Amino acid sequence: MLGLTGAPGAGKSTLATGLIREWRGQGKRVAAIAVDPSSPFSGGAILGDRIRMMEHHADEGVFIRSMANRGRLGGVAAATSDMTLLCEAAGFDVVLVETVGVGQAEVDVARVVGVTAVVVVPGMGDAVQALKAGILEAASVLVVNKCDYAGAADFVGSLRGEFPATPLVETTASAGRGIRELADVLEQRKQEGAGRAQLWRWRMREMLLEQLAEGISEARLQEAAELVAGGGGDPYRIVDEWVGSLRG
Ligand SMILES: Nc1nc2c(ncn2[C@@H]2O[C@H](COP(=O)(O)OP(=O)(O)OP(=O)(O)O)[C@@H](O)[C@H]2O)c(=O)[nH]1
Ligand SMILES: [Mg+2]
């Protein structure tokens, strides 16, 4: 599973379209999932992605879906994890997950997918700050897209200086440049098994948490909420009673 993350408009969907074309050329079946953690109502963006990836819509070797936030941050990662597992079980050779932004939700999604490409654009100083602040910890590959922009070479040079240990690929997705190299580097990272054990632990942790939350009946939850809201109960004590054996 591969993740593609980066700021709005960085060119993730254009890169995804190019990568899908490349993988299809190699005879691979591809699932592409676009996740939008920031906005639960991003009908526009979802529609945009669908239209942009239209060249693949009639290809039965390609599965494209969009997913919105399910109301909580961890939910994106958990739902994405389920979806990627399903796609793998269904026999897709590559599962690509596109997320917008460089925040915590993207880091979570990156943990789920294992190998992540972070897409940045020349001149995006903010993104570089975000990279320094931690997202690169989860990143396997840096992609500088829009290398047709002025100042691209300088930007690439400074990034290589900042992150000497991270593979960096230069692309101009709109012209199809650098796509094959990116596909090769992603494949290589995948082969290296980057983040496999970590990925598995994360999935299991999410699953356990979900099961734990589902173990409490709606009636009990409602009863306790009314008690606490009415001033007749201490929420900490109630939770302590429920999960007492798990303390410490
Ligand atoms: N000049 C230039 N434009 C590009 C390049 N790659 C993509 N674009 C353009 O950038 C715009 C945004 O591209 P998208 O692929 O939709 O970007 P995105 O990161 O998926 O955007 P969101 O999903 O909205 O966050 C489109 O108009 C693309 O045609 C590139 O290499 N050079
Ligand atoms: Mg997009």
Structure confidence at residue 43 as a pLDDT band (50, 70, 90): very low
Distance from residue 52's CA to the centre of ligand 1 (Å): 10
**39-48, 220-229, 238-247 — which is least confidently predicted?**
39-48
Return the ligand 1 atom nearest residue 52 CA. Answer: 16
For the chain, give the mean pLDDT: 80
Is the pLDDT score of 109 beyond 90?
A: no
Is the pLDDT score of 178 beyond 90?
A: yes
Task: Kindly state the average pLDDT of the residues 5-26.
Answer: 91
**29-33, 74-78, 175-179, 204-208 — which is least confidently predicted?**
74-78
How many Å from the N-terminal Cα to the C-terminal Cα in the chain? 35
Is the pLDDT score of 125 beyond 90?
A: no
**95-104, 177-186, 193-202 — which is least confidently predicted?**
193-202
Closest ligand to the CA of 176: 1
Ligand 1, CB within 6 Å, residue ranges: 6, 8-14, 45, 52, 100, 145-146, 148, 172-174
Structure confidence at residue 19 as a pLDDT band (50, 70, 90): very high
Query: What are the structure tokens assigned to 117, written together?
Result: 């490409």
Per-residue pLDDT, 84: 83
Residue nearest to atom 12 of ligand 1 (CA): 9
Per-residue pLDDT, 248: 65
Distance from residue 204's CA to the centre of ligand 2 (Å): 29
* Portion of the chain with pLDDT greater than 90, in percent: 33
Structure confidence at residue 231 as a pLDDT band (50, 70, 90): very high
Give ranges for CATH 3.40.50.300 in the chain: 2-201
Residue nearest to atom 4 of ligand 1 (CA): 174
Is the pLDDT score of 60 beyond 50?
A: yes
Within the chain, what is the greatest distance between any pair of CA atoms? 65
Per-residue pLDDT, 134: 64
Residue nearest to atom 9 of ligand 1 (CA): 11
Structure confidence at residue 216 as a pLDDT band (50, 70, 90): confident
Distance from residue 200's CA to the centre of ligand 1 (Å): 32
Please count the residues of the chain.
248
To test the pocket of ligand 1, the residue of 67, 174, 177 to mutate (highest count of ligand atoms within 8 Å of its CB) is 174
Return the ligand 1 atom nearest residue 48 CA. Answer: 16
Q: Which CATH architecture has domain 2-201?
A: 3-Layer(aba) Sandwich (3.40)
Return the ligand 1 atom nearest residue 177 CA. Answer: 31
Distance from residue 148's CA to the centre of ligand 1 (Å): 12
Query: What are the structure tokens assigned to 28, written together?
Result: 């691979």
**41-45, 174-178, 201-205, 212-216 — which is least confidently predicted?**
41-45
3-state helix, strand, coil in the chain (%, to 5): 55, 15, 30
Helical pair 152-162 and 125-132, crossing angle rounded to 10 deg: 10
Is the pLDDT score of 69 beyond 70?
A: no
